[in-house]
Structure 1
Amino acid sequence: MTGSVDKAPWLLARFAQAAIGVGAVADVFRVVAVRDHRLHPTDASLSRSGFASMVFVYVMTAAVVLFLVWFSRCRRNAHVAGDGSAVWAVAAWLIPVVNLWVPRGLLLDVQRASSTEAAEKGSKDTLVNAWWVAWVGHGLLAAGSQFSKGTSMPLLVASEAFNLAAAGLVLCVIQRITALQSAALPTVSPAASRTHA
């Protein structure tokens, strides 16, 4: 990392981790409620599925916002050089199709720039890659389950297994990058940080 007197964003990391964990569990409840309503449509099942969907949308909106704020802060702390601004670093997560590969590279750039050990810069991509596979897998399976009207139990189970795996892995990714920054930021001298200001 090149200099900054910023601190590692531990509070943002904790809020993002909590929201992501709650969001993953809320998605499981939402999928079960929606499937139940599609198989046995009643006013009660409609109410349950609507409530579960509403809770999921609110929690996941909070999780996405917190994750993107955390990511932007980590990117700024790491002084990642390259092809764009903080706006692009956030927008890349939200643009369909682009968000299937660009954000992974941005996240790896932040992780590598946050590491103080040269040996760590390329050897610890496995965690990010595993999360990325689980996240994209969940998205593809969730989209595929819509073709079966959300009632195919094997697709729903596989999709939610990827969902929970992706949530667990991203919690570890957030922890790792924040810890790398926590270790690296105190080593920056105030003189070096003034030259970068």
Structure 2
Amino acid sequence: MFRAVAVRDQHLHRTDASLHRSGFVSMVFLYLMTAAIVLFLAWLARSRRNAQELSPQASVPSRGWTIGAWFVPVANLFVPRRLVLDIGRASSPSWEQKRDTARVNLWWGAWITHALVLTTVGQTAPGSMPVLVVTEALMLASAVLLALVIERITALQNSALGAAVPVTPLPA
């Protein structure tokens, strides 16, 4: 939201200070998003490996496709959702078809809607405060929903792999 306000301020009040603030906030945002993307892709690759270990017969994507699908135009609009669903289903028999699939669908819907609004409406109305608010709200919603998806799949895999963190007693 800080980015939206800084960008909007720069469009309304074109000064060196607003340009500097807008650029700085956008740069910090870009760095944070890059870090988040790298961490998410690392988690996804690890989850794919765990899912394959838990269910060798299950249909899980290949290592390359798990990451590569995000960067293939048009395929990146629907394949990553399918990959996350496949990884979730292969992670545990306690994957709840309706509830967990709905969680993934909500995340994916928020993410795709964010991308579509940003690339279509955002290009026709640059600096529009309503567009900025909608895109930032959709990005925030998709981040929260993705955190829930990550938590669910990780919990299922930890439970199935018996990865409970052992509690070591403190020395006397």
Q: If the TM-score is normalised by the length of the shorter chain, which range does it land in? A: 0.7 to 0.9
Displacement of 1:93 after TM fit? 1.2
CA contact (8 A) 1:104 1:128 kept: yes
- Return the alpha-carbon distance in structure 2 between the equivalents of residues 60 and 164 of structure 1: 12
Q: Is the Cα contact below 8 Å between 2:110 and 2:138 reproduced in 1?
A: yes
CA RMSD of aligned residues (A): 1.7
Map of 1:37 onto structure 2: 10
Counterpart in 1 of 2:170? none
Aligned length: 157
Deviates more, 1:65-74 or 1:28-37: 28-37
Partner of 2:136: 160
**Equivalent-residue separation in structure 2 for 1:39 and 1:97 (angstroms):** 35
Superimposed CA distance per residue, residues 46-68 of structure 1 (whole angstroms, 9 cap, x where no aligned partner): 10011011101111111000000
* Aligned match of 1:138: 114
Tell me what 2:97 maps to.
122
Shift of 1:180: 0.5
Ranges in structure 1 where 5+ consecutive residues have no aligned partner: 1-27, 188-197
* CA deviation string 1:20-43 (max 9, x = no partner): xxxxxxxx2222211211121110
> Secondary structure of the equivalent of 1:112?
helix
CA contact (8 A) 1:128 1:173 kept: yes
Partner of 2:21: 48
State the SS of the aligned residue for 1:116: coil
TM-score, scaled to structure 2: 0.85
Match of 1:17 in 2: none
Structure with the bigger RCO (C-alpha within 8 Å, sep 6+) is 1
Trace 1:5-84 onto structure 2 (pairs within 5 A): 28-79=1-52, 81-82=58-59, 84=61
Distance 1:39 1:59 in 2: 26
Q: Distance in 2 between matches of 1:104 and 1:48?
A: 36
| Distance in 2 separating the partners of 1:142 and 1:109 | 28
Question: Following superposition, which runs of at least 4 residues in structure 1 exceed 3 angstroms of deviation?
Answer: 80-84
**CA offset digits 1:102-126 (Å, max 9, x no partner):** 0000000000001233xx3523200
Query: Deviations for 1:165-187, whole angstroms, at most 9, x for unmatched residues?
Result: 11110110110000000111129
1:24 corresponds to: none
- TM-superposed deviation, 1:131: 0.4
Query: Which piece of structure 1 moves more, 34-43 or 171-180?
Result: 34-43
2:48–2:61 CA contact under 8 A, matched in 1:
no
